[in-house]
A and B are shown apart, each in its own frame.
Chain A
């Protein structure tokens, strides 16, 4: 499986993401500057890393969501191919409408950077199949604007379609229903505030994030083998 890690001006978790999928999870990966859209033609999975794309001008993720590379990413997603957005990547996915809702300022205003316990609410997804249902995992969070918000109708829909993939065990930022990560209806786009790519080696304090990348790789292999 070949991944592209999209690098925007202001991305800062791009190398962590690249390291996690390539050197730890063992997939193919390349860093792709956001204007090099041609390089996305033969890519299987797209990873939108964390950081502060365009300095978070206007709203986090809003500037990146209008860039040309998003047309390619929309096209990629509409073919059912996987897209993972972490932190700023999640903000870009909500701003571009690929995922519902919005990420707002943390409830207590402060930037938070520490390990959080998360609950895997759904292990029947492309991204989480190697976890147990309701498994508690530890990933770091590092955000000032991770307070997930959506209106009641959207929340109902998220629940009805099992789109809530991760919740916080102890809500750090005021997110509605403790939501830490959601997927789109089709199941091929996942956005989450916590950082699985920073939890892939025991040396980093947790390796609980590795199963997320390994799930993607295993599920890709399975679907490829079935279709081949």
Chain B
């Protein structure tokens, strides 16, 4: 069994009003050093071992987990016992 961790982020240049609101809230709490905030998604999958596991996960990201029009993604694979 593998644990897959998928990180999905908005592409650079794509407006992130949620991130903007977070940045402004942090500033209003006194954290003036926060220049920018971007919000993304974190998804964990448990996947059975098999051939082409990386290819299949890439496909899952392209077809469903991320929207390639506005989002980038990366993933990590680790062994689980």
Contacts and interface: CB of A to CB of B under 8 A. Distances in A.
A66 B14 CA distance: 25
B17 to A, nearest CB: 5
Interface stretch (A106-114, A156-164, A203-211, A217-225): A106-114
> Which 3 residue pairs spanning A and B have beta carbons closest together?
A102-B69, A102-B70, A109-B17
B69 A151 contact: yes
Given A105-B18, A149-B15, A151-B69, 6 more contacts: A58-B64, A101-B69, A104-B70, A107-B15, A109-B18, A109-B21
By size class, the interface of chain B is 10 to 19
A74 to B, nearest CB: 14
Interface of B: 14-15, 17-18, 21, 63-65, 67, 69-70
B17 A106 contact: yes
A41 B25 CA distance: 53
Chain B residues touching A, majority SS = helix
Interface residues of A, number: 20
A38 B15 CA distance: 41
Contact of B67 (A62, A66, A147): A62
Interface in A88-137: 94-95, 100-102, 104-109
A59 B61 CA distance: 13
Contact of A104 (B15, B21, B65): B15
A150 B15 CA distance: 12
Interface string A63-104: 000100000000000000000000000000011000011101
A151 B63 CA distance: 19
